[in-house]
Structure 1
Amino acid sequence: MQEIIQKDQSIFLFLNNMGSESFDQLWLMISATWIWIPLYVIFLYLLFKNFKLRNIVFILIFIALGVTVSDQLAGIFKTGIGRLRPCHDPALTGIMRSVQCGGQYGFYSSHAANTFFIATFMTLLLNKKYRFFPYILFSWAIIVSYSRIYLGVHFPLDVLMGALMGFFTGGFFATLALKVIHKQNRSNSTTSVLE
């Protein structure tokens, strides 16, 4: 385990020290939530274009539940495992670039979990209509996740674990949403036939 942690620290230092002050503001923006609001508006537009209003309500409920579960799990892991963020790790003082810092513990990354959750969820809902969509979504999730390493807030393993948790929770909640939508559509078509 110690070897894995040391390797993780080495990869972190390599990636983190590739940064330069001239790009810091860009990566701070990429890591911020507000900058992605136009992307969320596009997601909403695509949902309205491809699903009925009643189905969209269920989809939004499942997204809200999924992001909440993802955040809560990240909080449990952070306090339970208690791995210090790079910016709080005394062993890395003076040898890393700390552009931003957060709470004391960082395993695993909520940013990675949430972006991979949304990428997976939206892919499973819209993949059949837009074949290119997964490439855009997962590129976005990877860029946001990398920003956390660049800024000195997370180790690569924090990000990798967050991405995996987001991927699995996204898959789980998207499957539930699709089942509810199919059930809803089936009951609506049965009602229409009976009328």
Structure 2
Amino acid sequence: MADIQQFDVELFVKIHRGLSNGFFDWLMPLLRNRFFWSPLYLFIVVFCIRNYKKQGYYMIAMILTTFAIGDFIASRLIKPFIGRIRPCNDVNLADEIIRRVPCGSGFSFPSSHATNHFAIAVFLICLFYKDWKPILPLGLFWAFIISFAQVYVGVHYPIDTMFGALLGTCIGFFTFYLYTKIKPAI
């Protein structure tokens, strides 16, 4: 376990400091900001309602359910149980941290951003892949870049985002399964 944690810290420093550049310093804080993605979220809502009418409202409800389940499991169940300190709050890394965003006082493992975005991405991929194949690489890239930004800005270790991605993927598949079993015939 100590070897895994050491690897995680070393990989964190390679990403956080080793990839440091002005463009990423500008871009990565934006990518993890919920308001930056508001146009995409609005597009998804309008797209679902416009193209799927009443069924679109159910799709949106399931997307929100997917988010809620992911956020609850990551933030309310796992994070307090594990209690891992964020790298930006770790006194052992104080000399390594570049303050790109406010650190926050919450715990680090797993990344809620990674959990939530992978859950939504996987749900949307399952929902629309049959009709629009490009959603697979686009959805996964979207979730990955948000997760990567968490490490780059210094608020999560790589394993936090990897586990969040795995957890979110499972939640996305689960909520899509629920969607297929209980969706109303509209």
TM-score norm. by structure 1 comes to 0.87
Distance 1:66 1:167 in 2: 10
127, 131, 149: which one pairs with 1:147? 149
Residue type of the alignment partner of 1:177: Y
Identity within the alignment, %? 32
Q: How does 1:14-163 map to 2 (within 5 A)?
A: 14-17=14-17, 18-53=19-54, 55-75=55-75, 76-100=77-101, 101-163=103-165
The residue aligned with 1:193 is none
The CA deviation at 1:154 is 0.1
1:149-184 deviation digits (Å, cap 9, x = unpaired): 010000000000111111111111111112223xx3
Structure 1 or 2: more helix by fraction: 1
Distance 1:103 1:96 in 2: 15
Residue pair 1:70, 1:113 contacting (<8 A) in 2 also: yes
The CA deviation at 1:72 is 1.4
Q: Deviating runs (4+, > 4 A) in structure 1?
A: none
Residue pair 2:49, 2:57 contacting (<8 A) in 1 also: no
The CA deviation at 1:50 is 4.3
Residue pair 2:45, 2:60 contacting (<8 A) in 1 also: no
1:9-65 deviation digits (Å, cap 9, x = unpaired): 000000001113453232111110011111112222332354241x22222222222
Structure of greater Rg:
1
What RMSD, in angstroms, separates the aligned Cα atoms of the two structures? 1.6
Mind listing any 5+ residue stretches in structure 2 that lack a counterpart? Answer: none
TM-score norm. by structure 2 comes to 0.91
**For 1:34, what is the secondary structure of its paired residue?**
coil
